[in-house]
Structure 1
Amino acid sequence: MLTSVVPKLPFINKQETVNFYVNQLGFTLRSDYVDYLIMDKDGVELHFFSFPTIVPAKSDFMIYVRVDSDIESLFEKCRQGSSAVKIITRLESKPWGQKEFAIADPNGTCLTFGEAFS
């Protein structure tokens, strides 16, 4: 029986990755095993593994994170955050009933956030 999915994402620089997810997105660092990190926020868990040779511009890692409310505030926080937050797509309503925006983390991973609307 499947119970959940936990994305496992690469990191180049551990401290930059921790700073980005903790300071910009509000995650909590739960475990640091030198080359492996575990973070969570609001029931969403992310794992990270060391991959120092990855080229961010050529990274194909992507995840979709569902938001249950106030995606506008999350987008504004990212937009007004540090230069570490690279906006890929601005907040917009999609035909499939989601308000979405996408950012890239310091490792080139695309994070798309979506909130359902009717």
Structure 2
Amino acid sequence: MIEPKSSFPVFVIKNLDAAKYFYTENLGFDVAFSGDWYIHLVSKSGVQIGFLLPSHSTQPPIFQKPYIGEGVIFSLEVEDADVAFEEAKSKSLNIVLELRSEDWGQRHFCVQDPNGIYLDIVQSIEPTEEYQNDYN
């Protein structure tokens, strides 16, 4: 069996500088690696994310197509979604889903980063009775 010890998404994007700025200035990530074709960011809590330029000669063809903005949600769990939402508003982030509570046990909102990646900023809350049995 393959047993992962950590995980991180890598998005193939067109603008590394915009990603680096957005994630370090707005979400508190630090730069762990910064090349002219790839950056790797890590949060203080250990959340990791990578960004790769498309069509880079060191990468196989399956890693060369740029992200087109569909089919991916990158969720970031926070202690307090209300505080995070106010911070996102104060920084004029591109909020694409307003703050709301979901019956299945989430309070969240979504922003879109400069490369089109949707970030679901999530706080776990008590689910309604209907969803209680869905949790282990």
Instruction: Give TM-score, length-normalised by structure 1.
Output: 0.85
Letter of the 1:76 partner, please give it: E
Q: Is the 8 A contact 1:10 1:107 kept in 2?
A: no
Query: Is there any run of 5+ residues in structure 1 with no aligned partner, and where?
Result: none
Correspondence for 1:90: 98
Which of structures 1 and 2 has the larger relative contact order (alpha carbons within 8 angstroms, sep 6+)? 1
* Matched positions, count: 113
Query: Is there any run of 5+ residues in structure 2 with no aligned partner, and where?
Result: 56-64, 127-136
Correspondence for 1:43: 46
CA distance, structure 2, for counterparts of residue 27 and residue 86 of structure 1: 18
Q: How far apart are 1:4 and its partner, in Å?
A: 2.5
1:6-85 equivalence runs, <5 A: 6-41=8-43, 42-51=45-54, 54=66, 58-60=68-70, 61-67=72-78, 69-82=79-92, 85=93
Q: Is the 8 A contact 1:64 1:113 kept in 2?
A: yes
Correspondence for 1:110: 118
Instruction: Give TM-score, length-normalised by structure 2.
Output: 0.74
What are the superposed Cα offsets for residues 54-111 of structure 1, whole Å, 9 maximum, x if unpaired?
48xx5123212222x12211111111104xx210101110111110111100000001
How well do the aligned residues superpose, as a CA RMSD in angstroms?
1.9
CA distance, structure 2, for counterparts of residue 21 and residue 81 of structure 1: 12
